[in-house]
């Protein structure tokens, strides 16, 4: 940001500080919308369940709560002793 842009930024910020909170919030939302319009489209996110199901070997039942708890305990022991 050069000196001229910095002065404009500072003067804008000072002016905006005098606005009511609702108007400042609306400005923030409008600025965020301009950023969203310029950002690159993100690939659609996969659902967590679908990701987890692909980690399981085919044909095997899901682990029980007790097995998962045992695995977590084992991992904690490895990590923290």
Has residue 19 been placed in a domain?
yes
Has residue 14 been placed in a domain?
yes
In this predicted structure, the answer to whether residue 54 has a pLDDT above a threshold of 90 is no
Has residue 9 been placed in a domain?
yes
Has residue 31 been placed in a domain?
yes
34-45 pLDDT, tens digit per residue, is: 887 787 777 777
Type and span of the H or E element at 50: helix 48-55
Has residue 42 been placed in a domain?
no
The answer to whether the pTM exceeds 0.75 is no
d(CA 51, CA 61): 16
Domain that holds residue 33: 3-37
Has residue 68 been placed in a domain?
no
Query: Per the structure, how many domains does the chain have?
Result: 1
d(CA 14, CA 18): 7
Has residue 72 been placed in a domain?
no
């Amino acid at each position: 940001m050069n000196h001229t842009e910095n002065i404009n930024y500072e003067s804008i910020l000072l002016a905006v500080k005098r606005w009511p909170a609702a108007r400042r919030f609306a400005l923030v939302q409008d600025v965020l919308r301009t950023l969203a319009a310029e950002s690159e489209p993100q690939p659609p996110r996969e659902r967590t369940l679908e990701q987890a199901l692909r980690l399981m070997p085919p044909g095997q039942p899901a682990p029980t709560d007790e097995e998962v708890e045992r695995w977590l305990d084992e991992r904690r022991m490895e990590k923290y002793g």
